Amino acid sequence: MTDTAKVTENFTVSAKFLGGEEAEIISELMQDLYPSIVVEDFGSYRALTVDGEQLVFDMGEIAEEIGSAYTVTNFLAILVSYKGDIDVGDDSITIKVFAPKPQ
């Protein structure tokens, strides 16, 4: 098998957060909402990964868990990377599977 053939297509969606209390709270919330999510704590950052489904981060739900107001601005301050197709809304951020199609 050529090495190029070893690069297989995948449909992973992930979000990586600056390590800390907010990332921990968001991880726990998302684990409740998405049973198949995998959470990895690397110390300096935390990664949330699912395969083949989208992740919706709702600021209202996060605020509820954190115990204070929480906005998209707060969220984007700790989102260090993502994998997928991101869409930033007023009160939520969605990361979908990256699967573009020609028009």
Partner 1 sequence: MKINEAYNRVKDMEWDPTYIDLDEKTIEKTKFYLDGVNPIDPFKTFVREYCEQELEKDDRHYALLEASSRLHSGPPDARWMEGMKFGLSNLVGVEYAAARAMGRMARTVAPIELRQGYMMQMLDEMRHSNLEMNVIRHHMRTWKDPAGYDIAAQAGVNSVGSAIFRSMVEDVMTSDPVETSIGLQVFIETAYTNVFFVGLSTAAAAHGDDVLASTLLTIQSDEARHMANGWATLSALLQDDRNLPLIQQAMDKWSWRMHCSFGTGNALFADYFVRNHTESAKEMTMRWVYEDFYGGFYKKLEAFGIEPPKHLDTMITDMDWLSHSTAIYLFGAWPVFFHRFDGIDDNEIEWFENKYPGFKQHFGQFWQTYRQCLNPDDGKLILKEMGGLPHFCQVCNRPNIFPRPDIATGCSRMYEGKQYSLCSEGCDDIFMKEAPRYVGAKNFYDLYEGMELSEVIVALGYVREDGITLMAQPELEPDRMWTLDDIRACDYVVQRPEFPPLKS
Considering only CA atoms, which of 38, 39, 37, 42 is closest in space to residue 19? 42
Considering only CA atoms, which of 14, 37, 29, 19 is closest in space to residue 67? 29
Closer to partner 1 at the Cβ: 12 or 36?
Answer: 12
Eight-state DSSP code of residue 102: -
Determine the interface stretch with partner 1 among 29-37, 59-67, 79-87 (rule: CB under 8 A).
Answer: 79-87
Task: Please tell me whether residue 82 binds partner 1 under the rule CB under 8 A.
Answer: yes
Task: Please tell me whether residue 86 binds partner 1 under the rule CB under 8 A.
Answer: yes
Determine the interface stretch with partner 1 among 6-14, 26-34, 55-63 (rule: CB under 8 A).
Answer: 6-14
Alpha carbon distance 58, 93 (integer Å): 7
Residue 34 three-state SS: coil
Sheet holding 79-83, edge to edge: 38-41, 45-51, 12-18, 79-83
Residue from 31, 39, 54, 74 touching partner 1 (CB under 8 A): that is 74
Residue from 21, 42, 67, 68 touching partner 1 (CB under 8 A): that is 42
Residues that bind partner 1 (CB under 8 A): 2-4, 6-12, 16, 18, 42-45, 72-74, 76-90, 98-103
